Amino acid sequence: QKEVEQNSGPLSVPEGAIASLNCTYSDRGSQSFFWYRQYSGKSPELIMFIYSNGDKEDGRFTAQLNKASQYVSLLIRDSQPSDSATYLCAVNSKNRDDKIIFGKGTRLHILP
Amino acid sequence: NAGVTQTPKFRILKIGQSMTLQCAQDMNHNYMYWYRQDPGMGLKLIYYSVGAGITDKGEVPNGYNVSRSTTEDFPLRLELAAPSQTSVYFCASSYSGVGARGQPQHFGDGTRLSIL
């Protein structure tokens, strides 16, 4: 089982709709969860991080964490063409303070 | 507002050549990382450091070396470049580790390296 799994996409969403990106992880002891956005040819940039079960909102972005089911999701409300990018999920491993594991990312395409 | 600075941005090497990719951060971060990203793939950890004088291997360390003599700098050395090392290389840093309530990593702009 891969440590961090994401659907590679592309996920196509109409402008103005809600984009839902999902990520599952294998290490039940993981404690820190991050979402990065990466535009083509650019470096990853942090969008959200979440540590506790439930929802965390920041502007149009909401991160959702369910540790029992081992998944973390990112919702983007009122999707804009500028949200078109690859979204990387990253998770720390239990007892490993020094590094995180990245998923391969989901390509999101917002349709104008 | 420099953050994480990587040089060079682009480089073409011939097979067998060597080079050093530079990475510097001005955020007083203890942790630094080197990743490579191949087209359509995720980030693979090459080497990382939790402080000056301390380095450790990541997922794909073969063909690379690192050193961390200062908090600010974390150069990545390629010895005997091979076509399989053609990739985009990202350096990242964080203030502390990524355990409970871990700190996020901040990335440099990357170095695009082609080995011909």
- Predicted pLDDT at A16: 97
Q: Across the interface, do A96 and B99 touch by the CB < 8 Å criterion?
A: yes
Reply yes or no on whether the pLDDT at A1 is more than 60.
no
In whole angstroms, give the CA distance from residue A104 to residue B14.
29
**How many other CB atoms sit within 10 Å of the CB of residue B50?**
19
Reply yes or no on whether the pLDDT at A71 is more than 90.
yes
- The residue in chain B having the minimum alpha-carbon distance to the alpha carbon of residue A92 is B98
- Predicted pLDDT at B100: 59
What confidence category does residue A99 fall into, taking pLDDT thresholds of 50, 70 and 90? confident
In whole angstroms, give the CA distance from residue B105 to residue B4.
10
Q: Is B51 on the interface with A (CB under 8 A)?
A: no
Cβ contacts of B23 on chain A, cutoff 8 Å: none
In whole angstroms, give the CA distance from residue B116 to residue B113.
10
- The residue in chain B having the minimum alpha-carbon distance to the alpha carbon of residue A31 is B100
Beta carbons of B57 and B63 less than 8 angstroms apart = no
- Of residues A109, A89, A62, A76, the one with CA closest to residue A6: A89
Q: Which of A10-14, A66-70, B48-52, B97-101 has the lowest mean pLDDT?
A: B97-101
Q: Is B89 on the interface with A (CB under 8 A)?
A: no
Q: Across the interface, do B99 and A32 touch by the CB < 8 Å criterion?
A: yes
Q: Which two tokens stand for residue B15?
A: 């097979």
pLDDT tens digit sequence for B48-102: 999 999 999 988 999 999 999 999 999 999 989 999 999 999 999 988 776 656 7
Cα of A12 to nearest chain B Cα, Å: 17
